[in-house]
């Protein structure tokens, strides 16, 4: 079965040693795990606002059929629109880290970003966290993005597709129940038979395969997908169909 | 490959049901599971009666599913030594194979002394919660340095330190020289590198696969082991033969 991974990163993160740091090695590793296509962002862009990280990755992903480049944007940083426009055409979405870049989801900057995305029918990706808050360095703590803030934003712009990454299972349940335009990845979602369990309480229709590679073992996500007790149709939706629709991948 | 999951929890309210846990574990090719009890059913500080209720539940489950389920006797060191001693002996007689301690008393506390002496006398392994947490869940919660202190005091007791990912690099170094301490692979998200690091510094012989199901998913937890860059022989030790040797000898 085809798998599109919507939550992959490449680069250095000061709190974890990764098994690889270049796109070629990442590509080989994802092949081995059965991931056909990956939406990828630059790890450094989380903590460093130098545009070079997005630009370098964008360059590397061009002409590479394995990766779909996803820029990290801080809409509180002047000039973001111009820098983002440099990635057109071919832009498939935008990722934000509201908690790391310390802007509120209710701010006017977000409104401008959403207008930009709506004009191009692109999804907004919100990465809610990077690691487990309980294990963060005591002087470098960043809380997860609040479900209520995302829900408010989603309900304010009901035709804007919002994809939430790294939400815990209770958060996924709340997010998907609260707003029809919210999707979530499975990377941080966990309970015995995760997807089968989620499918009992709400439509797992709006789940996407995301592994949070290389922070997490890719295999954990593929096994979660492949062994969960859900129908073949649902598994396909989560594995690639939803991602293909949202990121308009068939156009690639 | 045979697989033993050395760290699961079954709820007193049977939600999810034990049948569904067994069914899904079988689907994931896990043959045998060690239930540690519904340790937080009554909060961090259960009464002696509540401890008995939790252990009776585990005893009932292992009797219903012999050869599939094994169980540990859950205790709180804040209870009188006489009660603890009797409870250990009662549980061992009923077939439980180890002792589980959570977070009611820090494991440096003197109140663990008689409990550990009984464990030593009866040759029962002790599985202890541990975590390096930015914020402790309660002040008595033990971290790996506390586990190391306990292990040094009782070198002939086999101690399983829970939650490898959550104890991190420091936790592995804390117990590195204490050969009576093992670590289980449960805890937190399946962060990459943790298994490889533990194999490098502790050796695969000291690592046990544990999922913390039903809170966690067998699939994602097995994924840490299958996805780690270690040898197949090391995976087999972690998934099966270490637990077989330490917990389920013939
Ligand atoms: Zn546990």
Q: Do B217 and A192 touch (CB under 8 A)?
A: yes
Q: How much distance in Å is there from the Cα of A33 to the middle of ligand 1?
A: 28
* Cα distances (angstroms) measured from residue A227 to each of A220, A230, A232, B6, B11: 11, 9, 11, 20, 23
Q: Does residue B50 register a pLDDT over 70?
A: yes
Please indicate if any CB of chain A lies within 8 Å of the CB of B170.
Answer: no
Mean pLDDT, to the nearest integer, of B159-185?
97
The answer to whether A36 and A4 have CB atoms below 8 angstroms apart is yes
Q: Does residue B133 register a pLDDT over 90?
A: no
Give me A248's structure tokens: 């308009």
CA dihedral B31, B37, B43, B44 (to 10 degrees): -100
Q: What domains can you pick out in chain A, each with its CATH number?
A: 4-251 (3.20.20.140)
| pLDDT, mean over chain B | 97
A147-188 confidence digits (pLDDT tens) = 999 999 999 999 999 999 999 999 999 999 999 999 999 999
Q: What percent of chain B has pLDDT over 70?
A: 100
Please indicate if any CB of chain B lies within 8 Å of the CB of A12.
Answer: no
Q: How much distance in Å is there from the Cα of A197 to the middle of ligand 1?
A: 20
Interface test with A, best of B33, B192, B199, B212 (most A CBs within 10 A): B192
- Residue B1: per-residue pLDDT: 75
B196-234 confidence digits (pLDDT tens) = 999 999 999 999 999 999 999 999 999 999 999 999 999
Distance from the Cα of B244 to chain A's closest Cα (Å) equals 24
- Residue B135: per-residue pLDDT: 75
Q: How far apart are CA B227 and CA B19, in angstroms?
A: 28
Among B residues 31-60, those touching chain A with beta carbons less than 8 Å apart: none
Query: If 0-12 CB within 10 Å is exposed, 13-18 middle and 19+ buried, where does residue B233 land?
Result: exposed
Q: How many residues does chain A have?
A: 252
The CATH number corresponding to B4-246 among 3.20.20.140, 1.10.3720.10, 2.60.120.590, 3.40.50.300 equals: 3.20.20.140
Q: Do A135 and B168 touch (CB under 8 A)?
A: yes
Please indicate if any CB of chain A lies within 8 Å of the CB of B20.
Answer: yes
Q: What percent of chain B has pLDDT over 90?
A: 95
- Residue A200: per-residue pLDDT: 87
A98-113 confidence digits (pLDDT tens) = 999 999 999 999 999 9
Mean pLDDT, to the nearest integer, of A36-52?
97
* Cα distances (angstroms) measured from residue B37 to each of B7, B52, B57, B63, B142: 10, 11, 8, 14, 19
Instruction: Identify the band that residue B23 occupies on the pLDDT scale cut at 50, 70 and 90.
Output: very high
Instruction: Identify the band that residue A205 occupies on the pLDDT scale cut at 50, 70 and 90.
Output: confident
Please indicate if any CB of chain B lies within 8 Å of the CB of A69.
Answer: no
Q: Does residue A203 register a pLDDT over 70?
A: no
Please indicate if any CB of chain B lies within 8 Å of the CB of A143.
Answer: no
B57-95 confidence digits (pLDDT tens) = 999 999 999 999 999 999 999 999 999 999 999 999 999
For chain B, the structural domain boundaries read: 4-246
- Residue A201: per-residue pLDDT: 78
Provide the whole-model pTM.
Answer: 0.96
Interface test with B, best of A207, A223, A229 (most B CBs within 10 A): A223
Q: How much distance in Å is there from the Cα of B134 to the middle of ligand 1?
A: 19
Q: Does residue B137 register a pLDDT over 80?
A: no
Per CB-CB distance under 8 Å, the chain A contacts of B215 are 190-192
Q: Do B223 and A18 touch (CB under 8 A)?
A: no
The answer to whether A100 and A142 have CB atoms below 8 angstroms apart is yes
- Residue A197: per-residue pLDDT: 92
């Amino acid at each position: 079965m085809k798998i599109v991974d919507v939550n992959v990163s490449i680069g250095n993160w000061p709190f974890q040693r990764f098994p690889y740091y270049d796109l070629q090695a990442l590509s080989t590793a994802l092949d081995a795990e059965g991931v056909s296509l990956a939406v990828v962002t630059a790890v450094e862009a989380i903590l460093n606002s130098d545009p070079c990280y997005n630009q370098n990755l964008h360059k590397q992903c061009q002409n590479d059929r394995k990766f779909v480049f996803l820029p990290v944007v801080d809409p509180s940083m002047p000039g973001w629109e111009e820098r983002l426009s440099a990635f057109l055409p071919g832009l498939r979405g935008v990722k934000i880290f509201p908690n790391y870049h310390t802007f509120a989801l209710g701010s006017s900057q977000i409104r401008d970003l959403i207008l930009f995305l709506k004009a191009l029918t692109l999804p907004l990706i919100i990465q809610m966290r990077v690691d487990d808050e309980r294990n963060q360095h005591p002087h470098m703590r960043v809380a997860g993005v609040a479900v209520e803030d995302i829900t408010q934003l989603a309900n304010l712009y009901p035709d804007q597709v919002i994809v939430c990454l790294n939400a815990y299972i209770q958060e996924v349940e709340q997010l998907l129940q609260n707003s029809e335009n919210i999707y979530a990845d499975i990377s941080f979602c966990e309970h015995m038979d995760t997807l089968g369990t989620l499918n009992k309480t709400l439509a797992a229709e709006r789940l996407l395969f995301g592994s949070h590679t290389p922070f997490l073992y890719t295999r954990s996500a593929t096994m979660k997908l492949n062994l969960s007790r859900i129908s073949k149709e649902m598994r396909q939706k989560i594995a690639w169909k939803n991602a293909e629709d949202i990121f308009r991948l068939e156009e690639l | 490959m045979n697989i033993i999951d050395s760290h699961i929890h079954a709820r007193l309210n049977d939600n999810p049901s034990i049948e569904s846990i067994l069914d899904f574990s079988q689907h994931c090719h896990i043959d045998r599971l060690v239930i540690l009890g519904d340790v937080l059913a009554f909060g961090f500080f259960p009464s002696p009666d509540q401890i008995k209720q939790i252990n009776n539940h585990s005893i009932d489950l292992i009797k219903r599913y012999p050869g599939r389920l094994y169980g540990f006797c859950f205790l709180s060191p804040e209870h009188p030594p006489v009660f603890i001693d009797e409870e250990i002996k009662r549980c061992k007689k009923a077939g439980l194979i180890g002792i589980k301690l959570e977070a009611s008393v820090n494991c440096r506390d003197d109140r663990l002394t008689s409990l550990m002496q009984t464990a030593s006398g009866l040759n029962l392994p002790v599985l202890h919660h541990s975590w390096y947490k930015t914020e402790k869940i309660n002040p008595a919660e033990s971290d790996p340095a506390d586990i190391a202190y306990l292990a040094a005091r009782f070198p002939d007791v086999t101690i399983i330190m829970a939650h490898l990912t959550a104890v991190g690099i420091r936790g592995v170094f804390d117990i590195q020289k204490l050969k009576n301490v093992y670590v289980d692979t449960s805890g937190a998200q399946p962060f990459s590198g943790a298994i490889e690091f533990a194999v490098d510094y502790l050796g695969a012989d000291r690592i046990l696969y544990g999922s913390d199901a039903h809170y966690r998913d067998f699939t994602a937890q097995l994924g840490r082991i299958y996805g780690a860059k270690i040898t197949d022989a090391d995976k087999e030790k972690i998934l099966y033969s270490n637990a077989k040797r330490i917990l389920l000898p013939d």
